[in-house]
Amino acid sequence: MGREIAPQELSYFYQKTGEAIWHLQHVEDFLIKLFIVGSIHLKINGISAQNAEAKLSKYNKKTLGQLIGLLDGSEIVTNEFIGKLKAYNDIRKWIVHNSMRETENCLYSQEDRDFFITRTTTFTDLSIEIQRDIEVRLWELTVAGGISLDEVKARAIATIEAWKKAT
């Protein structure tokens, strides 16, 4: 027997959904940067330091599936990582497109609520894991490209300071 979702549960439900989407957007952004940086360092895909900004604008419009397609079969990432991204994209499709239809009773069924929250939080955890995987690969490419970690850190600190002054 079901019961209607309580207001604090509904707030949590929406918060977890928003958190999942937020992390998805970070993964997409990281994948674009990985594709650009990897292409520059490996001298593939017609991307160079000179045209990176223009390419970035173009790739910012790609969906997660399209980004996975760009990386699939490239030297930028492993086949294992592509498999992980494809599984991640399957969960993304469920959250974005099918979750409401498949758990339409979640506002009245504890079982459906638990399923939705578990799947959504698992997706968020996977998003964070993928972000870390991408970060590791970006560091590998950066160091292999002859850029020191100290130089990257100095640029990052300068960027953060500029953002602070702008607000």
Give the model's pLDDT for residue 127.
Answer: 97
Integer-rounded Cα Rg, in Å, for the chain is 19
Residue 120 lies in a domain: yes
Give the model's pLDDT for residue 101.
Answer: 75
Q: For the residues 94-121, what does the mean pLDDT come to?
A: 82
Give the model's pLDDT for residue 33.
Answer: 94
End-to-end, the C-alpha distance of the chain in Å comes to 52
Residue 1 lies in a domain: no
Q: How many domains does the chain have?
A: 1
Q: Name the band, by pLDDT with cuts 50, 70 and 90, for residue 113.
A: confident
Q: Name the band, by pLDDT with cuts 50, 70 and 90, for residue 59.
A: very high
Residue 75 lies in a domain: yes
The contacts of residue 143 (CB under 8 Å, 6+ apart) are 149
Residue 54 lies in a domain: yes
Residue 32 lies in a domain: yes
Q: For the residues 142-164, what does the mean pLDDT come to?
A: 88
| Residue 64 pLDDT greater than 90, yes or no | yes
Which residue range forms the structural domain that includes residue 158? 7-166
Residue 121 lies in a domain: yes
Compute the mean pLDDT over every residue in the chain, rounded to the nearest whole number: 90
Give the model's pLDDT for residue 1.
Answer: 53
**Integer Cα distance of 87 and 24 in angstroms:** 13
Residue of higher predicted confidence among 157 and 98: 157
**What does the block give as tokens for 124?**
């968020």
DSSP 8-state symbol, 76: S
